[in-house]
């Protein structure tokens, strides 16, 4: 039982990370119907921005709680900026083009960030400084809960609640929902859809950046290719929950994180990466638009 709880704690930890990244995917898809393959690499950039920032401001040498939040905030802001730049430079000119074209561009941006990262940051793994000292919250013979997984969960939930607030209770959030529903009608209603789209990228990228910092805290080895697989799995999580659906992304992320860890722990650790996809295939066969996705009737 205790071992099960241990695996569960781990799974929820990863679930929160996948959820954070999946939110970005799902929001961008909602407004643009674009699978932004470069999103996983923004997650990687978040970790690296945090790495350089904390070392530059000497926070790494003297970690404090304020220092951690400063790093988190900086990484989120920097990633938000990167997100907007990518959107303006690579995706906006292709708004009127078929979806496949923008998809290829997204793949190109992803490759650029990965290979560029290897050249600029160096391909060797770097060690992310311990900004929050690890401590044991609960300790027994078979179950140890340290503060880091709890921190990840709390920060993720806080960010998700913040996102929900923005989307549901603010004007810009309403504009986002309108644009996602029907872009043309929204712009006819006087909404500056270009700005709304940029804002969506800003939010999504900021969340991915936060995910990067949280992962780097717990698994302090960072390298330019670290966003590849988590990005893909987060995308699977978003589709699992119903792409375009914000609560769906969170649900999908959690389900993915927990099932992955359980399979790795109880069946075979080397099958871990396949679980995400196997789960996806099974669920999509039963619910073709994802768990919380709505069945949009096709108009002839």
The dihedrals phi and psi of 19, each to the nearest 5 degrees, come to -65, -45
**Identified binder of other proteins from the candidate list 69, 85, 95, 108, rule CB under 8 A:** 108
Binders in 280-299 for other proteins, by CB under 8 A = 280-281, 284-285, 288-290, 298
Of 4-12, 50-58, 205-213, 248-256, the segment contacting other proteins by CB under 8 A is 4-12
Is residue 202 a contact residue for other proteins (CB under 8 A)? no
Residue 208, number of CB atoms within 10 A of its CB: 36
> Helix or strand or coil: residue 38?
coil
Of 58-66, 154-162, 198-206, 273-281, the segment contacting other proteins by CB under 8 A is 273-281
Cα angle at 29 between 26 and 30, to 5 degrees? 85
Residues 6+ apart with CB under 8 A from 39: 21, 24, 25, 28, 204, 205, 208, 231, 234, 235
**Identified binder of other proteins from the candidate list 164, 220, 247, 259, rule CB under 8 A:** 220
Nearer to other proteins, 65 or 96 (CB): 96
b/e map 29-53, b = 16+ CB within 10 Å: bbbbebbbbbbbbbbbbbbbbbbbb
Q: Please say whether the beta carbons of 136 and 145 come within 8 A.
A: yes
Binders in 121-150 for other proteins, by CB under 8 A = 122-125, 127, 130, 133-134, 139, 141-142, 144, 146
Q: What is the DSSP letter of 219?
A: S
Nearer to other proteins, 107 or 162 (CB): 107
Q: Please say whether the beta carbons of 79 and 108 come within 8 A.
A: no
Binders in 149-188 for other proteins, by CB under 8 A = none
Q: Please say whether the beta carbons of 176 and 194 come within 8 A.
A: no
Is residue 264 a contact residue for other proteins (CB under 8 A)? yes
**Identified binder of other proteins from the candidate list 94, 150, 166, 172, rule CB under 8 A:** 94
**Identified binder of other proteins from the candidate list 82, 261, 291, 292, rule CB under 8 A:** 261
> Helix or strand or coil: residue 72?
helix
Is residue 269 a contact residue for other proteins (CB under 8 A)? yes
Is residue 36 a contact residue for other proteins (CB under 8 A)? no
State the minimum distance, in angstroms, from the CB of residue 188 to other proteins: 25
The DSSP-derived string for 73-113 is: HHHHHHHHHHHHHHIIIIIGGGTTS-HHHHHHHHHHHHHHH
Nearer to other proteins, 103 or 172 (CB): 103
**Identified binder of other proteins from the candidate list 77, 151, 177, 265, rule CB under 8 A:** 265
Is residue 271 a contact residue for other proteins (CB under 8 A)? yes
**Identified binder of other proteins from the candidate list 31, 109, 131, 163, rule CB under 8 A:** 109
Is residue 243 a contact residue for other proteins (CB under 8 A)? yes
Binders in 13-32 for other proteins, by CB under 8 A = 14, 29
H or E element at residue 137 = strand 136-139
Q: What is the DSSP letter of 182?
A: -
Of 69-77, 192-200, 245-253, 263-271, the segment contacting other proteins by CB under 8 A is 263-271
**Identified binder of other proteins from the candidate list 77, 81, 118, 151, rule CB under 8 A:** 118
């Amino acid at each position: 039982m205790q071992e099960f709880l241990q695996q569960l704690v781990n799974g929820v930890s990863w679930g929160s990370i996948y959820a954070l990244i999946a939110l970005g995917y799902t929001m961008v898809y909602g407004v643009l119907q674009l699978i932004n393959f470069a999103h996983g690499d923004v997650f990687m950039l978040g970790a690296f921005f945090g790495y350089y920032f904390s070392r530059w401001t000497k926070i790494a040498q003297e970690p404090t709680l304020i220092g951690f939040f400063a790093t988190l905030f900086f990484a989120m802001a920097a990633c938000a900026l990167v997100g907007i730049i990518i959107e303006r430079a690579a995706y906006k000119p292709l708004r009127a083009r078929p979806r496949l074209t923008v998809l290829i561009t997204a793949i190109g941006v992803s490759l650029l960030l990965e290979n560029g990262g290897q050249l600029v940051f160096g391909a060797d793994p770097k060690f992310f400084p311990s900004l929050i000292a690890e401590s044991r919250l609960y300790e027994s013979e078979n179950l140890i809960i340290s503060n880091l997984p709890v921190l990840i969960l709390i920060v993720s939930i806080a960010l998700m609640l913040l996102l929900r607030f923005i989307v549901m209770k603010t004007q810009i959030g309403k504009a986002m929902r309108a644009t996602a529903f029907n872009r043309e009608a929204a712009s006819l209603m006087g909404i500056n859809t270009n700005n709304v789209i940029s804002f969506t990228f800003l939010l999504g990228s900021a969340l991915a950046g936060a995910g990067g910092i949280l992962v780097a805290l717990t698994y302090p080895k960072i390298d330019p290719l670290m966003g590849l697989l988590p990005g893909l799995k987060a995308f699977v999580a978003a589709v699992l929950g119903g792409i375009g659906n914000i609560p769906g992304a969170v649900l999908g992320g959690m389900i993915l994180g927990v099932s992955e860890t359980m399979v790795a722990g109880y069946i075979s650790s080397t099958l871990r990466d396949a679980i995400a996809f196997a789960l996806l295939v099974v669920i999509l066969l039963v619910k073709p638009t994802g768990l919380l996705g709505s069945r949009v009737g096709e108009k002839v």
